[in-house]
Structure 1
Amino acid sequence: MDLQTILFMFFGGLGIFLFGITYMGDGLQKAAGDRLRDLLDKYTTNPIMGILAGLVVTILIQSSSGTTVLTIGLVNAGFMTLKQAIGVIMGANIGTTITAFIIGIKISDYALPIIAVGTFLIFFFKNRKANNIGQILFGFGALFYGLNLMGDAMKPLREVQAFTDMMINLSDNPLLGVFIGTVFTMIVQSSSASIALLQALFSQGLMDLNAALPVLFGDNIGTTITAVLASIGASVAAKRAALTHVIFNLIGTVIVLLLFSPFVYLISSLQDSLGLNPEMTIAFAHGIFNVSNTLIQAPFIAILALIVTKLVPGEDSTIEYKAVHLDERFIRESPSIALGQGQKEVLRMAELTEKGLEEVGLFMKTHEKKHGEMVPQFENAINNLDRKITDYLVKLSSHSLSGEDSKLHSTLLNTIRDLERIGDHMENIMELVQYQITNKVIFSESAIADLDEMFDLTLSTLKQSIKALETGNQDDARSVLEKEEKIDNMERDLRKKHIIRLNENRCTGAAGIIYVDIVSNLERVGDHAVNIAEVVIGED
C-alpha cells in the first residue's frame, strides 16, 4: 500500500467516523427533543443528581462535548448554577466512555448493512420517528465503517521503523503521550474519535499499554477545548464552567500519572483475567479512569467552584429564572394566599421584563456585546416564568375563589401574556440591532435621536403600567393610555421622516428596513403596556 492510499484511507476514515458520530448524536437529540434540556434543567438539584443527569444525557447524544456545551448554554442563560454544572460535567466524562465500550464490542463487520438499514428508514419513510431512527442507525454504521478504514490504513505502519521508534519513546515518556493525545483531540475536537483511533492502534499491536494509556489521558484533556470555545463571549458563570472542565481533567491526569505503574498493572490484570480484546481493554481503562476521577473529585465540587471563581473574577450576570413565590401547598390549603403568591411572581416577571427592555436600550445606544448577551437571558427567564405561573394559576382555577379573587386571577393571566409578548419584542429589537452591527448598517443622527426619544417614552410607559399593576393606582394607569397615544403618533411621524430621509438619500434601504422594524416593535410594546393598564382600570 503506497503513502497516498494510506493517507486517503486514514483521513477519509476519520472524516466518516466524525460524521457518523455527529450524525448519530443529532438523530438521538431529535428523537429526544427538548427532553434532554429538561432533564438537565429538572434533575440537577444537587451535584450527585447532576452527575447522573450528565451521564444519561451523554449516553443519549454520544458526545461529552455536546453535553458540556449544552450545560454551558444553560449556565449562560441562568438556568443552572456553577455547582450544578460541575456535577453535569463530571457525569459527562463518565458517559462518554460508552462510545469506547460500543467500539469494543466489535460489530464493525456489520457496518455497511447497518448503514443500508438507516438509509432505507431515512429515504423510504415519511414518519419523523422512523427518520430519526434511520439517522441514528446510519451514523452508527458510518462510525464503524470509518473506524475500519482507519484500522486498515494503519496496518502498514508496523513495517515503518520511525513509527516503531516513536511508540517506544511514548512508552518511556508518558508526558509525551499526554501531549500527543491532547493536541490530536484539540484538532479533531472529539475525544471519541481520538480514543477510537487509539483503540485501533492498540488492536493492531502498534503500541503497548505503557504508550497507549498516557495518550488516553491526553484525549480527556484535549476534549475540553470544545467547552472553552463554547464559553467565548459567554457569561462569567459559563466561562467558569468551561474552566472547571479543564481543571477536572487536568487533576485526574496528574493523579493517574503519579500512580501510573499501579494503573497499568490493574488494566493489564483485567485484560488477562477477563479475556478482554484490545479495544475493550482501552474502553475499560477509559471507564475506570473517568469513574475514579469523578469519585475522587465529587466531594470537592464546592472547592472546585471556589477555585474557578477566583481564577475567573467578575460579577456573575446570570438571572434567577426560577419561580420564587409559587408554592403549590398554598393552592390546596389557602387558594387566596396562593393567588397572592401568584401576584408576587407576576410582578417579579414584570420587573424582569422592564430590566430586559432597559438592556435592549443600552444595546441600541452603545452596541456593547455584554448588553446584547443579557437580553436572551431575560427572555428565557420571562418565558420560563410564563409557563410556571400559567400552570400555577390553571391549577388554582380548579379551587373555589371569591368574586374579587376571580377577577384578580383573570388579571394575572392576561398580564403574563402581555409580558411574554413584550419579551418577544425586546428580543426582536436585539436581533435587529445585531443585524445592524454585523452588516455595518449606519443610521443618520436624526434617526438615532428620534429612535432614542421613542424608546425612552416606551420604557417610561412600560414602567408606569407595571407601577399601576403593583399599586392599583388608576391615575398611573390612565397616564399609560395617554403616553401610548403619543407612541402611536410618534410611530406614524417617524415613518414619515424615514421616507423623507430616503428620498433625500440620507438613509439607505437596509437601514430603513431595520429602523422601521425597531419602531414597529416599540409601538407593539406600548400596546401591551396599555393592555396591562386597561386591566388595572377595569378592576375598579
Structure 2
Amino acid sequence: MESIVVFLQLAGAVALLLFGLGLVRDGMVEAFGLKMKMILGAGTRTGPRAFVSGVVATLGLQSSTATALLTASFVHREMIGIRRAQIVLLGANVGTALTAVIVSADIAAAVPLLVLAGYVLRRRGGTVGTGIGAGLIGVGLMLLSLTLLDQATEPLRSSPQLAAFLPMLDGARPVALVFAAVIALLCSSSLAAVLLIGSLVLPPELAVVMMLGANLGGAMAPVLATGGLDVSARRVTLGNLAVRAIGCLIALPFAGPAAAALADLPLDPAGMAVTSHLAFNLVLAALIWPFNGLVCALTLRLIPDQAGLAETGPRWLDDAVLDTPPLALAGASREVLDIGDTVERMMVRTRAAFRSDDPAPLAEVMALEDQVDRRQHEVKNYLSRLTGAATQTERRQSIAVLDYVINLEHIGDIIAKGLAAEVQKKIGQGLRFSDEGYAELDGLFLMTQENLRMAQTVFMTRDREMARRLMEQKVEIRNLERQSAQHHLIRLREDQSDSRETSSLHLDLLRDLKRINAHAVSVAHPILDEEGLLIESRLRTR
C-alpha cells in the first residue's frame, strides 16, 4: 500500500510538471506567438543567428519539442532551409538545458508571487497579459512540482530496495539509457525527464547516463509528431534525433570521466543531471556544427525525395451532391481551403525569391496564379448551381464561401502582378535594400504568411477568438507598414544610397503586403459581425 501511495505521489508531481510546461508554452504562444515565429522565420539568415533563435524560442516555449515542431513546419513551408533548421535545433537543445538550470534553481519561495502575479494579469485581460499570466502560473506550478517531486522521492531515496537496484542499473549502462529514453518519450519532454532524474539522488555516473537517455527520448517525440508532414520536415526532426543518438553513443563510454570532472565543481549531487544536460548539449552543438552538411546529407539518404504530380483540377466539387446542399457546401469549402493553400504557396515562393535573389521560384508563382483563377471560377459556378432546397443558413454559408474564394483570387492577383513583379525588378536590376529596410520587409512577408494561415483556420473553424486575433494582427501590420514607411523616409533624408535606389520599390512592396492582409482578414468580418463585435464605420462621431 505504501508503494502505491509513493507511485501516485510521484505520478501526480510529474503530471503537475507537464501541466506547468504546457501552460507556459500555451501562454507564451498566446502572448508572443507571432513574434516567436518571426524570431525563427526571420532570424535564420546566418548560422549564429539561427542558433540564437533556437535558444531564445525554446526559452520562451519551455520545450525543445515545440521548437522542433515549429521549425519543421517552417521547413515544410519553405520558410527555412534544412541546414539552418538543423542549427536552430542545436540551439533548441541548449535552450531546453538552460531552462532546466533555471527551473531547478532554488527559488521555490517565489511560487506564491508568480502564481499571484499570473492570476492578476489573467484577470486584467488582453491577449498579451493573459498569455504572460498563464506563463507565470505555469512557471510557478513547475517550481511547485519540483518540491512535490523531492517529497515524493524521499521514501525512494531511503528505500533498501532502491539501494539494491541502483548498483544493478549502474552496471548496465545501455539499460539505464533506454529506461530514461522511455521516460522522456512518455513525457514528450527531455526537460521533464531530466528534472525527474535530478530529483533522485543517484550515483554521478548513473545520473549522466540517464541524462543521455533523456536527451535521446526527447528527440524521438518530434519524429513521431512530424510523421504526417512532407519529407523535408521529417528530415529536420530525424536529423536532430540522429545528432543526439550519435552524441549519446560517443558520450556513453566517457560517462564516468565526465561525472568525475563535473563532481569537482561545487554542485549539489542532485544537480548532476541538470549540469551534465547543459554540458552535453553545449559540447554536442560545438562538435556537430561543422558537420551540419553531413547530417543533412544523411537525412537525405534516409528519407529520399518522393516523386509525384500535383493535382491542378477541382478535387471536391461533386455535381452528384448539388441536390444535397450540406454535402455540396462541405465539398466547396474543402476546395476553397485547397485554393488557399495554393495562394500561400505563391507567397512562400515569392518570399523565397526575395530572400535568395533567385528568379526561379517566380515562374512557379505565375503558374499557380493561373490555377487559382481557374479553380475559383469553378467554385463560383458550382455554388451558383445549388438547388432551391438550400436553407437560409446554407445560403449565407454559400455567400461566405464565395466571399472568401474571391478574396483569395484577389490575393493571388496581388502576389503575381504586384509582389512577384516587384521582386523580379529587384533581382533583374540588382537592387539591394538597406539592412534595416530588408529586415522590415522580410518581417512583413513573414507576418503576411502567418496571417494567410490564420485566415485558413478562421474560415475552417469559424472560431470567434481566432477571428478576433486576426483582426488584431491587421492593426499591428498597419502600424508596422506605417512605421516602415516612416523609417524609410528617415533613411532617405540621411541620404543612404541603398534606400534612395530602392525607394519606390520599398513603398510598393509595403502597399501590396498591406493589401494582401486586408483581403485575408476579411474572412473574420462576418464572424465578428454576427457577434456584434464590429462597428459599421471607423469615422469618429461628432
Q: Paired residue for 1:34?
A: 34
Shift of 1:136: 1.9
Q: Quote the Cα distance in structure 2 between the aligned partners of 1:372 and 1:529.
A: 13
What is the TM-score with the length of structure 2 in the denominator?
0.63
Q: Paired residue for 1:254?
A: 249
Judged with a 3 Å threshold, the aligned counterparts in structure 2 of structure 1 residues 244 and 114 are, in CA distance, closer, same or farther, namely same
Q: Paired residue for 2:237?
A: 242
Is residue 227 of structure 1 aligned with residue 218 of structure 2? Answer: no
Whether contact under 8 Å (2:41, 2:79) holds in the other structure is yes
Trace 1:371-382 onto structure 2 (pairs within 5 A): 378-382=342-346
Q: Paired residue for 1:48?
A: 48
What is the letter of the counterpart of residue 381 of structure 1? R
Q: Quote the Cα distance in structure 2 between the aligned partners of 1:41 and 1:316.
A: 27
What is the TM-score with the length of structure 1 in the denominator?
0.63
Judged with a 3 Å threshold, the aligned counterparts in structure 2 of structure 1 residues 495 and 303 are, in CA distance, closer, same or farther, namely same
Q: Quote the Cα distance in structure 2 between the aligned partners of 1:129 and 1:295.
A: 36
What is the letter of the counterpart of residue 284 of structure 1? T
Q: Paired residue for 2:192?
A: 193
Shift of 1:263: 1.4
Whether contact under 8 Å (2:79, 2:348) holds in the other structure is no
* Cα-to-partner distance string for 1:184-213 (whole Å, 9 max, x where unaligned): 1111111111111111113xxxx1112111
- Counterpart of 1:304 (choices 273, 291, 295) is 295
Judged with a 3 Å threshold, the aligned counterparts in structure 2 of structure 1 residues 528 and 150 are, in CA distance, closer, same or farther, namely closer
Trace 1:228-377 onto structure 2 (pairs within 5 A): 228-270=223-265, 275-315=266-306, 359=312, 361-362=314-315
* Cα-to-partner distance string for 1:335-383 (whole Å, 9 max, x where unaligned): xxxxxxxxxxxxxxxxxxxx99x54625768x9xxx9998665333334
Q: Quote the Cα distance in structure 2 between the aligned partners of 1:296 and 1:46.
A: 18
Judged with a 3 Å threshold, the aligned counterparts in structure 2 of structure 1 residues 514 and 197 are, in CA distance, closer, same or farther, namely farther
Q: Quote the Cα distance in structure 1 between the aligned partners of 2:408 and 2:29.
A: 39
* Cα-to-partner distance string for 1:274-331 (whole Å, 9 max, x where unaligned): x2223443322111100111111111111111111011112488xxxxxxxxxxxxxx
1:201 match: secondary structure: coil
Alignment length, in residue pairs? 390
- Counterpart of 1:213 (choices 195, 208, 215) is 208
Q: Quote the Cα distance in structure 1 between the aligned partners of 2:104 and 2:413.
A: 62
Q: Paired residue for 2:147?
A: 148
Q: Which has the larger radius of gyration?
A: 1
Trace 1:59-208 onto structure 2 (pairs within 5 A): 59-123=59-123, 125-202=124-201, 207-208=202-203
Whether contact under 8 Å (2:104, 2:195) holds in the other structure is no
What is the letter of the counterpart of residue 252 of structure 1? G
Whether contact under 8 Å (2:104, 2:143) holds in the other structure is no
2:142 match: secondary structure: helix
What is the letter of the counterpart of residue 378 of structure 1? T
Q: Quote the Cα distance in structure 1 between the aligned partners of 2:87 and 2:235.
A: 13
Shift of 1:137: 1.5
Whether contact under 8 Å (1:25, 1:63) holds in the other structure is yes
Is residue 19 of structure 1 aligned with residue 19 of structure 2? Answer: yes
* Cα-to-partner distance string for 1:511-536 (whole Å, 9 max, x where unaligned): x889957984798489859999xx99
What is the letter of the counterpart of residue 235 of structure 2? R
Q: Paired residue for 2:386?
A: 495
Q: Quote the Cα distance in structure 1 between the aligned partners of 2:30 and 2:277.
A: 28
Whether contact under 8 Å (2:44, 2:53) holds in the other structure is yes
Judged with a 3 Å threshold, the aligned counterparts in structure 2 of structure 1 residues 361 and 525 are, in CA distance, closer, same or farther, namely farther
Q: Quote the Cα distance in structure 2 between the aligned partners of 1:164 and 1:278.
A: 16
What is the letter of the counterpart of residue 285 of structure 1? S
Judged with a 3 Å threshold, the aligned counterparts in structure 2 of structure 1 residues 525 and 198 are, in CA distance, closer, same or farther, namely closer
Q: Quote the Cα distance in structure 2 between the aligned partners of 1:252 and 1:146.
A: 30
* Cα-to-partner distance string for 1:360-409 (whole Å, 9 max, x where unaligned): 625768x9xxx99986653333345789999xxxxxxxxxxxxxxxxxxx
Whether contact under 8 Å (2:339, 2:408) holds in the other structure is no
Q: Quote the Cα distance in structure 2 between the aligned partners of 1:160 and 1:83.
A: 48
Q: Quote the Cα distance in structure 1 between the aligned partners of 2:402 and 2:110.
A: 58
Aligned-pair identity in percent equals 22
Q: Paired residue for 2:374?
A: 459
Q: Paired residue for 1:467?
A: none
Q: Quote the Cα distance in structure 1 between the aligned partners of 2:241 and 2:277.
A: 17
What is the letter of the counterpart of residue 459 of structure 1? R
Q: Quote the Cα distance in structure 2 between the aligned partners of 1:182 and 1:197.
A: 12
Greater Cα shift, 377-386 or 275-284 = 377-386
Greater Cα shift, 23-32 or 517-526 = 517-526
Structure 2: tracts of 5 or more residues without a match:
319-330, 355-364, 419-542
Greater Cα shift, 161-170 or 64-73 = 161-170
* Cα-to-partner distance string for 1:161-199 (whole Å, 9 max, x where unaligned): 332222112221211111011001111111111111111
What is the letter of the counterpart of residue 78 of structure 1? E
What is the letter of the counterpart of residue 495 of structure 1? L
Whether contact under 8 Å (1:53, 1:88) holds in the other structure is yes
Q: Paired residue for 1:409?
A: none
Q: Quote the Cα distance in structure 1 between the aligned partners of 2:57 and 2:180.
A: 25
* Cα-to-partner distance string for 1:199-233 (whole Å, 9 max, x where unaligned): 1113xxxx111211111001001112221122111
Structure 1: tracts of 5 or more residues without a match:
318-354, 391-415, 427-457, 463-483, 503-508
Q: Quote the Cα distance in structure 2 between the aligned partners of 1:152 and 1:158.
A: 10
What is the letter of the counterpart of residue 259 of structure 1? F
Q: Quote the Cα distance in structure 2 between the aligned partners of 1:154 and 1:256.
A: 28
Shift of 1:97: 0.6
Whether contact under 8 Å (2:340, 2:408) holds in the other structure is no
Whether contact under 8 Å (1:72, 1:230) holds in the other structure is no
Judged with a 3 Å threshold, the aligned counterparts in structure 2 of structure 1 residues 316 and 214 are, in CA distance, closer, same or farther, namely farther
Judged with a 3 Å threshold, the aligned counterparts in structure 2 of structure 1 residues 279 and 111 are, in CA distance, closer, same or farther, namely farther
Judged with a 3 Å threshold, the aligned counterparts in structure 2 of structure 1 residues 8 and 513 are, in CA distance, closer, same or farther, namely farther
Whether contact under 8 Å (1:105, 1:280) holds in the other structure is no
Whether contact under 8 Å (1:359, 1:372) holds in the other structure is no
Q: Quote the Cα distance in structure 1 between the aligned partners of 2:151 and 2:245.
A: 33
Greater Cα shift, 378-387 or 307-316 = 378-387
* Cα-to-partner distance string for 1:99-126 (whole Å, 9 max, x where unaligned): 2211332112332342233223322x23
Q: Quote the Cα distance in structure 2 between the aligned partners of 1:119 and 1:528.
A: 44
Whether contact under 8 Å (1:170, 1:210) holds in the other structure is no
Greater Cα shift, 20-29 or 60-69 = 20-29
Trace 1:440-519 onto structure 2 (pairs within 5 A): 459=374, 491-492=383-384, 494-496=385-387, 499=389
Judged with a 3 Å threshold, the aligned counterparts in structure 2 of structure 1 residues 379 and 146 are, in CA distance, closer, same or farther, namely farther
